[in-house]
Amino acid sequence: MDHFDIAIIGAGLAGSLAAIALADAGYRVALIGPEPAVADGRTTALMDQSIEYLKTLNLWEKVEPLTAPLSTMRILDGTNRLLRAPPVNFRASEVGLDAFGYNIPNAPFIDILCHRAEESPTLTRITTSAIGFELSDAVATIELANGSQCSAYLLVGADGRRSPVREAAKISVSTWSYPQTAVVLNFAHELPHQNISTEFHTESGPFTQVPLPGNRSSLVWVRKPEDAAQTLTLDLAALSRAVEDRMQSILGKVTVEGTPQSFPLSGMTAQRFGKGRVVLLGEAAHAFPPIGAQGLNLSLRDVMTLVDIIGVSSGEPLAGDIGDRFDSRRRPDIISRTASVDLLNRSLLSGFLPVQALRALGLHVLSAVGPLRSLLMREGVHPGSALNAFKEGLREKIGRKSA
């Protein structure tokens, strides 16, 4: 039976990035999971902190040609409600950046990660499913669908919302659903996007256009399930027209590319994010609607934290409390991000006038108050940085007064 330092179950973006990072730290890593049956037509917007991490993994040079920068993030109220919010523009230049992040198509991104995994001498790719787990104080044993077994000191679940690893570790979850379905597609457009991502807030959820290279963009259109189903029945000409109308023709004529995909929206948070010799990453630990480009960025912070906890390989067996330490470190970030995305999404759905008023007022304040807008942007790009800057500023003021 093959033995590894770390076995990662799930070979999607989060699992692949974790495998590469941990192999780079000197660990013997097994990345376990079948090849995807269907190409992922979605894109992922990675923020500046995540891009910097890709650079440390020597991945950015290959990924960058696929991407488009997000220099401005614009929020427009696309509702017909009595109380409507003003337009809000978040510009990267306001916080000293060329771009908040970059939008990357998922399918070629995962291809790059697969090629990189093949080049790593300490990373073994096992392209079959894990069908059983035995957890002990000393080691985790994984039963594979091809009839073989392997073991590892640390078992990492990056195996999605219905995570078998999470189930084997007897970690429960809190789940909730939304009366929404996300329609995902890519489209070409007549006018340049100028590296601006526009998010229309509608009564059924966000309609978010994100730049791709050239005169192309990706789209996440959150709709009521029945409206989403009807959208998927449209031919490409009618769908292109519907997208252009919803965008108020700000990018001119639209031409939808390929076949749109749809995903029912729900949320999930694990009661624990690690336990003993088990760690949960990505959607095995947390899942929420595609709002504010939080998904994979949050998952990459999971990876960064795990690497920070275990450090560079010393050649010794990994400790049995890594999961507990990981849970303690990740809890504040995951809980706060999940709550904020849930609150924003529910505020869009609410027909309660005071809720609409508070949402409109909040966006008005962000539009009018530059320092507050900058604080929010810094926090979005580098979580925790805004609070740390506030603390440092407070200390300086107290120090000057006491001097």
How confident is the model over 274-298, as pLDDT tens digits? 999 999 999 999 988 776 556 789 9
Backbone φ and ψ of 202, nearest 5°: -115, 170
Q: Where in the chain is the domain with CATH 3.30.9.10?
A: 62-103+177-266
Share of the chain above pLDDT 90, in %: 63
Q: What is the mean pLDDT of residues 382-393?
A: 53
pLDDT digits (tens, 9 = 90+) for 327-360: 999 999 999 888 878 777 766 554 444 444 444 5
Q: Residues in the chain, how many? A: 403
Task: CATH 3.50.50.60 in the chain: give the residue spans.
Answer: 2-41+106-175+267-346
Tell how many helices (H) and how many strands (E) occur in the chain. Answer: 12, 19
Q: pLDDT tens-digit profile of 153-202?
A: 999 999 999 999 999 999 999 999 888 899 999 999 999 999 999 988 88
Angle formed by the axes of helices 353-368 and 370-381, nearest 10°: 100
- Scanning 216-294, the segments in alpha helix (DSSP H) are 225-232, 236-246
Q: For the domain bounded by 2-41+106-175+267-346, which CATH number is listed?
A: 3.50.50.60
CB atoms within 10 A of CB 32: 29
CATH number, domain 62-103+177-266:
3.30.9.10
Distance between CA 180 and CA 159 in Å, rounded?
24
Please state the three-class secondary structure of 87-125 as a single string. Answer: CEEEEHHHHCCCCCEEEEEHHHHHHHHHHHHHHCCCEEE
- 150 within 8 A of 232, measured Cβ to Cβ: no
Average pLDDT, the chain: 86
Task: Return the amino acid letter for 154.
Answer: L
Cα 54 to Cα 20, 51, 112, 300: the distances in Å are: 10, 5, 12, 10
If pLDDT is split at 50, 70 and 90, which confidence band does 391 have? very low
